Structure 1
Amino acid sequence: MAASDQSVEETLAVASVLSSAIGARIGSYICDVFGRTQTLSTRNGLSVIGPLLMAVSPTLSISIIGQVMIGMSKGVATLSICTGLSVIDPLLMVVSPTLSISIIGQVMIGMSIGVAALTVPIYVSEVSPSEIKGRMIVLTEFSVMLTRGK
């Protein structure tokens, strides 16, 4: 991405945050229809496809789609994926040939964050033993804070 204008940075930041809210809203519906496991699997796929779209897209619109996919998938389902993507996302934005590619990538990131923020704590509470359920949920939310910082 050649432009380093402040408005470009603001646009990318807003794309991720707004798509996180959208991901959280549609995440509950997706969980009800497809279940927690399928939703988390889809989230992981979005977190991989989003940065790839940002890196290879020649247009702004494809970049925005990539960011939306990443946004929908970010979260704590797998700490290593989230940590890796937190490092890869800025790098992909730097090498992105156009602003549109970067915006699509940010929107995908935001959507994945929203879906994971809703789905992962519920899934952890369902699979955790009752004696450590509270600690597991707290650690899950803490890992979100560490991996994404939002």
Structure 2
Amino acid sequence: MAVAGAIVGAAFGGYMNDKMGRKKTILMADVVFTLGALVMAAAPVPWVIIIGRVFVGLGVGVASMTAPLYISEVSPAKIRGALVSTNGLLITGGQFLSYLVNLAFTKAPGTWRWMLGVAAIPAIVQFILMLSLPESPRWLYRQSKQEEAKVILSKIYRPEEVDDEMKAMHESVEAEKAEEGSIGQTLGQKLKGAWSNDVV
């Protein structure tokens, strides 16, 4: 059920990223994941565990597509690839660590509740740390908040590099918008043509 939740979360993650921003989307994913972990830990009957697993999956699905996007948009270009790769490394390391944590709880009373509930801790830590981080400057720029985007870029790049980054962002965003419009127009034309074709 966690996988099913992750599929749904990933599907809606893109929409949430565009409407709410990267930061708020990650914060919401942390809340949903934490809720799911606590529900599983406190579950009185098996079907409640299933509900908790769905919530955990939703959080994982949203975060798995949002976190790399956020990292790529707030990190300096020189180390962007390394930071995005580090995200994957930390995910794998976290999975290995979870096995060790579960092993440590095998002899504790109510073993399975601890195993499921402890998953909330990383999500809570990430939520707290995310509160001090800025929104994606690229998302802000797309929302016509250029000045806010420039302020954030000034904290990432040297003063003499900020204007060049703003120019590059402007060109990239405008190219994206033009491509999105072209794709939408082409798709609309194809659908219109399909509906207007005579069936033989």
Question: Are 1:140 and 2:77 counterparts?
Answer: no
Root-mean-square deviation (Å): 1.3
Structure whose alpha-carbon radius of gyration is higher: 2
Within 5 Å, give how 1:1-150 maps onto structure 2.
15-56=1-42, 96-148=43-95
CA distance in 2, matches of 1:54, 1:23: 18
TM-score by length of 2: 0.46
Cα displacement string for residues 64-99 of structure 1 (whole angstroms, at most 9, x for unaligned residues): xxxxxxxxxxxxxxxxxxxxxxxxxxxxxxxx3211
CA distance in 2, matches of 1:143, 1:23: 21
**Which stretch of the first structure deviates more once superposed, 44-53 or 108-117?**
44-53
Q: Higher relative contact order by CA 8 Å / sep ≥ 6: 1 or 2?
A: 1
CA distance in 1, matches of 2:3, 2:65: 15
Q: Is the 8 A contact 2:33 2:57 kept in 1?
A: no
Q: Is the 8 A contact 1:54 1:102 kept in 2?
A: yes
CA distance in 1, matches of 2:76, 2:41: 41
CA distance in 1, matches of 2:81, 2:41: 39
What percentage of aligned pairs have identical amino acids? 33
Q: Is the 8 A contact 2:33 2:58 kept in 1?
A: no
Q: Is the 8 A contact 1:55 1:101 kept in 2?
A: no
After the TM superposition, list the runs of 4 or more consecutive aligned residues in structure 1 that deviate by more than 4 angstroms. none
Unmatched 5+ residue regions in structure 2? 97-200
CA distance in 2, matches of 1:147, 1:113: 13
Unmatched 5+ residue regions in structure 1? 1-14, 57-95
CA distance in 2, matches of 1:113, 1:51: 12
Q: What number of residue pairs does the alignment pair up?
A: 96
The one-letter amino acid of 2:41's match is A
